[in-house]
Amino acid sequence: MAANESKVSMFGFVGKAPVRIGQPESAPVCTFRLGSTPAYYDAARGAWVRRPTSWITVKAFRNLAVNLFHSLHKGDPVIVTGSLVTEEWTKEGQLHSALVLEADGVGHDLNLGQGAFTRVKPEEVDSPGRKDPWDDRADLGAGSTRDDSEALGAGTGGGGSPGQGMAGSDTANEKAKASTQPVDAF
C-alpha cells in the first residue's frame, strides 16, 4: 500500500450493469455505479429514515474486471473494497474531477441473500492466444440474461434465487440447495 492511500469499503447496490471500457487488445477494465443509502431508525416516528443516496463510480482491472462483469447485475447488493482516487480530465478547456473507487475486491452482500461461488481457472491476462475473456456470455446459461430493467435494490427479479444469472451459478445454486440440510448450530 502506498503512503497516504485512502482504502475504503462501501456497501450498496449496483446502480447499472457493469460495462467494459477501453480497447479490446488492452488489459480488461470494467466500471459500474454503486449507490449507498444510509438509514437510521427514528424511535419517535417508529420508522426507518433514509438519508440521501451517495453515488460513486467503481472501476476494476484485469481478472477482477472480467469476473465482476459476468457476475454483477443491476440491483445486486455488494461490498466493494479499494482505493479512493480522484480522476481528472479536461473538457472544452475546463478541468473536471470525480472520485472513483478503484476496486481491490468486490463481493455480493450475503446479509441480503445467498450466493454460490464458481472458481475460474487463473489465466495470465496478457497470455498470447487465449480467448477473449469478454466473450463468455454463453456461460450465463440458457434463459439467463443480464437484465437492466430491475429497480435498484429489487433483487434478482423473476423470483429466482440470489446470484441467479451469474456465470455457472444457476447449476451451482441448484446443487447447493439440494445438498443443504438444516443445522442446529454452526
In a domain, 127, yes or no: yes
Distance CA 75, CA 183 (A): 30
Q: What is the mean pLDDT of the chain?
A: 74
- Tell me how far apart the alpha carbons of residues 117 and 34 are, in angstroms, rounded to a whole number: 22
Residue 156 has pLDDT above 80, yes or no: no
Q: Which domain holds residue 162?
A: 7-40+49-179
Tell me what percent of the residues of the chain surpass a pLDDT of 90. 53
- Express as a percent the part of the chain with pLDDT over 70: 64
CATH of the domain at 135: 2.40.50.140
Query: Is 2 among the domain residues?
Result: no
- Tens of pLDDT, residue by residue over 43-63, are 999 999 999 999 999 999 999
Rounded CA separation 119/122 (Å)? 9
**Strand residues in the chain grouped as ranges (E):** 7-14, 19-21, 29-36, 39-42, 47-50, 54-61, 77-91, 94-108
Instruction: Say yes or no to pLDDT of 77 above 70.
Output: yes
> Is the confidence at residue 128, as pLDDT, over 80?
no
pTM (2 d.p.): 0.65
CA separation, residue 97 to residues 35, 51, 89, 128 (Å): 19, 25, 6, 36
Q: Is a pLDDT exceeding 60 seen at residue 184? A: no
At residue 26, the pLDDT reads 84
Residue 1 included in any domain: no
Q: Is residue 139 part of a domain?
A: yes
C-alpha cell belonging to residue 121? 481457472
- How many alpha carbons lie under 13 Å from residue 50 in its C-beta half-sphere? 6
In whole angstroms, give the CA distance from residue 153 to residue 149: 12
Residue 29 lies in a domain: yes
Query: Does residue 171 form part of some domain?
Result: yes
Residue 42 has a pLDDT of 94
pLDDT band at 136 (very low <50, low <70, confident <90, very high): low
In this structure, is residue 185 part of a structural domain?
Answer: no
